[in-house]
Amino acid sequence: MQRILIVDDEPDMAENCRRILAAAAYQCFTTSDAQEALRLLGSEHPDLLLTDLWMPEMDGMEMLRRARAIDPRMPVVLLTAHASLESAVAAVKAGAFDYLAKPFSIDQLKLAVERALSRRRLELENLNLREQLRGSFGFENIIGRSSALQQVLELVRKAARSEANMLVLGESGTGKELVARAIHANSPRAAEPFVPVDCASLPENLLESELFGHDKGAFTGAAGAKQGLIETAHHGTLFLDEIGELPLALQVKLLRALQERQIRRVGGTRQIDVDIRVVCATNRDLRALVTAGQFREDLYYRINVIDAVLPPLRERPGDIELLAMSFLRKYARRGEAALKGFAPAAMVALEIYPWPGNVRELQNVIERACALAEGEMITLADLPAQLRTVAPPAEHPPPGEVTSRLTLKEAKERWVGELEATYVAELLRREGGNVSQAARKAGVDRKTLHRLLNKHNLR
């Protein structure tokens, strides 16, 4: 039940309003005392304030200001027997939702209250939608604690609050679209559409129609008018993925649309106003494309007001384990049983692999491993061949960068175990799986090598 506070220095007027609105299923509080009204605003949190404009202790304009300070989204309707154009304009400028001149009819009062509470409901729904979007696509869903990633996210968090066009750069699989969605979800346009466009997947002859729309008869097969994706993103965010693949002819048309904030459909003559924020992404070097004459310099500066360069996974020490565990939780459920983690050798392989496909490749590898694993842990044997045979690259981060979250004892135990697992796995690979020959090379007997194989779940 929606709650209304009625403030009037004439108790009979306040009571009449209460009876009318209570009959319409509203919960009402009344008072003729200004200080009591302020107390009720703070304790009862009404959805609407009805207040007289002319009161001896505190006039309605001051009551309006105090109420808006307590709850900026609460609508206020002012009531007065001394109506004038000047006072009405002043009330609206001060933030009043509506203004009723006494005497007013029952229908006028009900209509004003209904309109004000409808606005209140709409604002709260938009607020809830924004919170849901932030929960689904917020920056907290971008997993990683490495300084390389956090520096970029700090820049993007600040930029998201603005209206500036953004360019997100990074290798394939680094999460450019995830960042673009987080930018939108944390922007003032969060309740409006987020429209993604993959510039690389659509043929040039279709891309123009998809972006700008077309009128009926614009080309063979255009049986009716079609709204383009730029129009669909009106008031929201247009995400142009792989912007470097956009043909030069369309670059010219896109530049004009961004400059003029208007578009013209294919085959049409009417200019259509559009209000969009543009976020672009690419894994290509746009500066090099500009130099080569394959990308317009003026468009480059138009879309690149703020740029964010996402680091590749190999430059994010410590994040691989966090991401792997996150994907494990996502894919590990298998009937009643679930995988619990990674064998040390498997985690070593994940951490030393260079990940040319970045986070997307890691996700695919973990999904595959979850499907193939037979025990409670993902072992080295459950990983693809390229991970089982990889050697640690020279640029692999030192142990301290990966294990700094552990105690010294835990770190030593972990790295000794991982060194054993990696050494034995690589030794067996070189010796073609021959345990006797591998034991001789290692300078140990077969029994010791078998113990190490069992300890690290190696086959």
pLDDT, residue 85, reads 59
Report, as an integer, the average pLDDT of 338-349. 87
pLDDT at 100 > cutoff 90: no
Angle between helix 106-137 and 11-23 (nearest 10): 60
DSSP 238: E
Which residue in the block uniquely carries the two structure tokens 């009405």? 88
Under 8 Å CB-to-CB from 254, ≥6 apart: which residues? 211, 246, 299
pLDDT at 453 > cutoff 90: no
**404 vs 228, more confident:** 228
pLDDT at 274 > cutoff 60: yes
Same domain for 432 and 324, yes or no, is yes
Report, as an integer, the average pLDDT of 419-424. 78
pLDDT, residue 399, reads 47
d(CA 444, CA 69): 78
Query: Where a domain ends, among 278, 296, 311?
Result: 311
* DSSP state string for 154-167: HHHHHHHTS---EE
- Does 28 reside within a domain? yes
Query: Where a domain ends, among 311, 342, 370?
Result: 311
pLDDT at 393 > cutoff 50: no
Report, as an integer, the average pLDDT of 392-416. 54
> Model confidence over 23-46: pLDDT tens digits?
998 999 999 988 899 889 888 889
Supply the CATH number for residue 424's domain.
1.10.8.60
C-beta atoms surrounding 117 within 10 Å? 18
pLDDT band at 348 (very low <50, low <70, confident <90, very high): confident
pLDDT band at 96 (very low <50, low <70, confident <90, very high): confident
Same domain for 92 and 207, yes or no, is no
Supply the CATH number for residue 239's domain.
3.40.50.300
DSSP 18: H
pLDDT, residue 126, reads 67
Same domain for 303 and 364, yes or no, is no
pLDDT at 392 > cutoff 50: no
> Model confidence over 199-241: pLDDT tens digits?
988 887 789 889 999 888 877 777 778 888 999 999 999 999 9
* Most confident region among 151-160, 385-394, 411-420 by mean pLDDT: 151-160
Instruction: Assign 31 to helix, strand or coil.
Output: strand
Same domain for 417 and 348, yes or no, is yes
Report, as an integer, the average pLDDT of 387-401. 52
> Model confidence over 308-321: pLDDT tens digits?
999 999 999 889 99
Same domain for 146 and 221, yes or no, is yes
Report, as an integer, the average pLDDT of 248-272. 92
pLDDT at 413 > cutoff 80: no
Query: Where a domain ends, among 249, 279, 311?
Result: 311
Residue 278, beta-bridge partner list: 238
The two structure tokens encoding residue 146: 């490495």
Same domain for 206 and 267, yes or no, is yes
pLDDT, residue 336, reads 47
- Does 241 reside within a domain? yes
Segment 56-63 long-range contacts (CB within 8 Å, at least 24 positions apart):
56/9, 57/9, 57/33, 58/34, 60/91, 61/90, 61/91, 61/94, 63/7, 63/34, 63/37
> Model confidence over 186-203: pLDDT tens digits?
899 988 889 999 998 888
Same domain for 240 and 117, yes or no, is no
Under 8 Å CB-to-CB from 321, ≥6 apart: which residues? 347, 350, 351, 402
* Most confident region among 215-224, 277-286, 421-430 by mean pLDDT: 277-286
- Does 134 reside within a domain? no
Domain count for the chain: 3
pLDDT, residue 391, reads 40
pLDDT, residue 439, reads 83
**414 vs 396, more confident:** 414
Same domain for 397 and 306, yes or no, is no
Which residue in the block uniquely carries the two structure tokens 């004892």? 409
Give CA 405 to chain center in angstroms: 28
Report, as an integer, the average pLDDT of 52-79. 85
Same domain for 305 and 323, yes or no, is no
Report, as an integer, the average pLDDT of 351-374. 92
pLDDT, residue 109, reads 92
- Does 281 reside within a domain? yes
pLDDT at 86 > cutoff 80: no
pLDDT, residue 404, reads 55
Same domain for 360 and 277, yes or no, is no
Among 83-92, 195-204, 214-223, 325-334, name the one with the lowest average pLDDT: 83-92
Report, as an integer, the average pLDDT of 124-138. 59
* Domain encompassing residue 266: 139-311
- Does 214 reside within a domain? yes
**83 vs 381, more confident:** 381
With contact defined as beta carbons under 8 Å apart, do 109 and 100 qualify? Answer: yes
Q: What do you get for the CA distance between the two ends of the chain, in Å? A: 66
- The residue among 29, 10, 148, 137 whose CA lies nearest residue 79 is 10
Residue 215: burial class (beta carbons within 10 Å; 0-12, 13-18, 19+): middle
What mean pLDDT is reported for the chain? 85
pLDDT band at 420 (very low <50, low <70, confident <90, very high): confident
pLDDT at 277 > cutoff 60: yes
**265 vs 418, more confident:** 265
> Model confidence over 132-167: pLDDT tens digits?
555 555 676 788 889 999 999 999 999 999 999 999
- Does 357 reside within a domain? yes
d(CA 388, CA 442): 19
Same domain for 147 and 186, yes or no, is yes
Same domain for 61 and 107, yes or no, is yes
Under 8 Å CB-to-CB from 12, ≥6 apart: which residues? none
pLDDT at 175 > cutoff 50: yes
- Does 441 reside within a domain? yes
pLDDT band at 334 (very low <50, low <70, confident <90, very high): low
Predicted structure pTM score: 0.59
- Does 233 reside within a domain? yes
